[in-house]
C-alpha cells in the first residue's frame, strides 16, 4: 500500500463512465442490428445506435478539448521504455504475487503498456469505427468521396471489425480493473477519484517538458 492520492478528477470520472455506457450501448444495439441477438428490435436498435453514436462523438470532442487545455494529454504520450517489464508482470508476475513494477504518480497516471493500448484505441480502433460508421450512415452522399472499389459491404465489414476490436479492448480493460492490490481498488478509484498508489519507484522514462 502506497500513498493515497486524488488521481482522477470529477470530469475524468464523468467522461470515463459516460464513454463506457455509450460504448456498451453501441455494442448491444450494433449486434442487434447485425442480427446477433433479439434483445431489442431492429428499428429501435438503429435509432438508439445512431443517438448513442452522436452523443459519443460529442463527448469525445469535448474530452479532446479538455485534455489539451488542461495538459492531461501528456499522460498518454507513448513510450517503449520498460514495456517488457509490464508484459512480464501481466503475463507471469501477477499470478505469483510479484509486486507491481510501476508506481502511479500524479504526473504519470498510466504505465507504458497502458499508454500503448490507449494509443492503439485512439489511432486504430476509434478511426476505424467512426469513419466506417459515418460512411455507412451517409452512404447516399458518398459519390466522389470514396473509391469506386469500396462498396457498402466493405464498409459494413470494417465497421463490424472495429466493433469486435472495441469489444476485445473492453473485455481486457474490465479484467485489468481487477488486478489492483485489491480486486475493486481500481474500480473504487474511478468512482471516488482517490487511489492508493502501489508498486515501487516509478519506472524511468522520458518526461515531457512543460
Domain boundaries defined on the chain: 4-196
Hey, what's the cell of 134?
459515418
Residues 6+ apart with CB under 8 A from 163: 26, 27, 30, 31, 129
> Over 126-179, what HEC string results?
HHHHHHHHHHHHCHHHCCCCCCCCCCHHHHHHHHHHHHHHHHHHHHHHHHHHCC
Say if residue 108's pLDDT is above 50.
yes
4-196 CATH: 1.20.950.20
pTM across the whole model: 0.84
Three-state DSSP state, 195: strand
Other Cβ atoms less than 10 A from the Cβ of 12: the count is 18
pLDDT at residue number 199: 53
Say if residue 197's pLDDT is above 80.
no
pLDDT at residue number 81: 85
DSSP state of 86: H
pLDDT at residue number 2: 53
User: Residues 80-95: what's their mean pLDDT?
Assistant: 88
H helix or E strand, kind and range, residue 4: strand 4-6
pLDDT at residue number 62: 93
Q: If we measure between CA atoms, which residue out of 6, 21, 25, 69 comes closest to residue 163?
A: 25
**How deeply is 49 buried, as exposed, middle or buried, from its count of CB atoms within 10 A (0-12, 13-18, 19+)?**
buried
Task: Give the confidence band of 72 by pLDDT, cuts at 50, 70, 90.
Answer: confident
Q: Which one has a higher pLDDT value, 1 or 121?
A: 121
CB half-sphere exposure, 52, CA atoms < 13 A: 19
Task: Give the confidence band of 209 by pLDDT, cuts at 50, 70, 90.
Answer: very low
Amino acid at each position: 500500500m502506497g500513498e493515497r492520492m486524488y488521481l482522477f478528477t470529477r470530469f475524468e470520472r464523468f467522461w470515463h463512465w459516460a464513454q463506457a455506457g455509450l460504448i456498451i450501448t453501441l455494442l448491444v444495439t450494433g449486434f442487434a442490428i447485425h442480427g446477433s441477438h433479439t434483445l431489442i428490435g431492429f428499428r429501435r436498435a438503429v435509432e438508439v445506435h445512431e443517438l448513442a453514436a452522436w452523443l459519443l462523438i460529442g463527448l469525445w470532442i469535448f474530452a479532446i478539448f479538455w485534455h489539451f487545455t488542461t495538459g492531461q494529454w501528456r499522460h498518454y504520450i507513448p513510450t517503449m521504455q520498460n514495456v517488457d517489464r509490464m508484459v512480464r508482470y501481466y503475463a507471469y508476475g501477477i499470478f505469483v504475487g510479484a509486486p507491481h513494477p510501476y508506481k502511479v504518480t500524479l504526473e504519470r497516471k498510466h504505465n507504458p503498456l497502458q499508454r500503448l493500448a490507449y494509443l492503439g484505441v485512439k489511432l486504430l480502433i476509434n478511426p476505424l469505427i467512426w469513419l466506417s460508421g459515418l460512411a455507412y450512415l451517409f452512404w447516399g452522399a458518398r459519390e466522389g468521396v470514396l473509391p469506386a472499389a469500396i462498396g457498402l459491404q466493405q464498409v459494413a465489414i470494417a465497421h463490424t471489425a472495429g466493433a469486435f476490436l472495441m469489444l476485445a479492448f473492453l473485455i481486457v480493460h474490465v479484467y485489468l480493473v481487477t488486478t489492483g492490490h485489491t480486486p475493486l481498488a481500481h474500480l473504487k478509484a474511478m468512482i471516488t477519484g482517490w487511489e492508493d498508489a502501489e508498486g515501487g519507484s516509478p519506472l524511468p522514462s522520458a518526461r515531457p517538458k512543460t
